[in-house]
Amino acid sequence: MVNFDQGQVQKAKKRSFFPQLDKEDNSSTGGDDNYDVCFHQTEKKRRLLPKQVEFLEKSFEVENKLEPERKVQLAKEIGLQPRQVAIWFQNRRARYKTKQLEKDYDVLKASFDKLNTQYDCLFKENESLRNEVL
DNA sequence: GACGTTACACATTTTACATCA
DNA sequence: CTTGATGTAAAATGTGTAACG
């Protein structure tokens, strides 16, 4: 299912082995009639199609890591190199991790703030009690 | 145990777009 | 409206390391 236009997608490969004949037809000069994010992935470099990302994202939800088999399978389904799928997962894991870290920080900070105000209250209470004693 | 290989984490670079003056 | 500066997220690269045969 989900056949993307392989013709285009496949081109995005080449692991940047060598510069190759970049010289694409649609040279910069006004040729970029299609400012479309999706469909000029041809012939040059990166940015995955929304549908591909959607797929990867779904797959990531199911399982955060991927065995070689699933990698190949997934790559086939969405028309990417297995290598690209692997890289995507690596980057995705990294993103997830930093997000999680931020969340953890927020939680920690919240509890710290709470503790801080509690301390404040106790400190003041203590102060007033001492004043009473005097 | 020293070797190649593989897969990953992590840091870093490179690119594609967005935004704004 | 175009153009260049700047910022940002994502794709890709590079490096180090652990696991495995």
3-state secondary structure of A133: helix
**For strand C, which residues in window 71-130 of chain A come within 7 Å by CB?**
84, 87-88, 90-91, 95
What's the CA dihedral at A125, A130, A132, A134 to 10 degrees? Answer: -170
3-state secondary structure of A105: helix
**For strand B, which residues in window 68-87 of chain A come within 7 Å by CB?**
68, 86
* Greater pLDDT, A4 or A96: A96
For the CA of A62 and the C1' of C15, the distance in angstroms is: 30
Q: How many helices (H) and strands (E) does chain A have?
A: 5, 0
- What integer is the mean pLDDT of A74-80? 93
Q: pLDDT digits over A13-65, tens only?
A: 333 332 323 333 333 333 333 334 444 444 456 799 999 999 999 999 999 88
A48 contact to strand C (CB, 7 A limit): yes
pLDDT band at A10 (very low <50, low <70, confident <90, very high): very low
A53 contact to strand C (CB, 7 A limit): yes
Do A17 and A83 form a contact (C-beta atoms < 8 A)? no
- Which nucleotides of strand C are protein-proximal, with an atom < 7 A from a CB? 10-13
pLDDT in the model for residue A45: 62
pLDDT in the model for residue A44: 56
DSSP for A53-97, please give it.
HHHHHHHHHH-SS--HHHHHHHHHHHT--HHHHHHHHHHHHHHHH
Tokens matching residue A90: 């690596």
- What are the CA-CA distances from residue A10 to residues A48, A76, A79, A91, A109 (Å)? 11, 10, 6, 21, 47
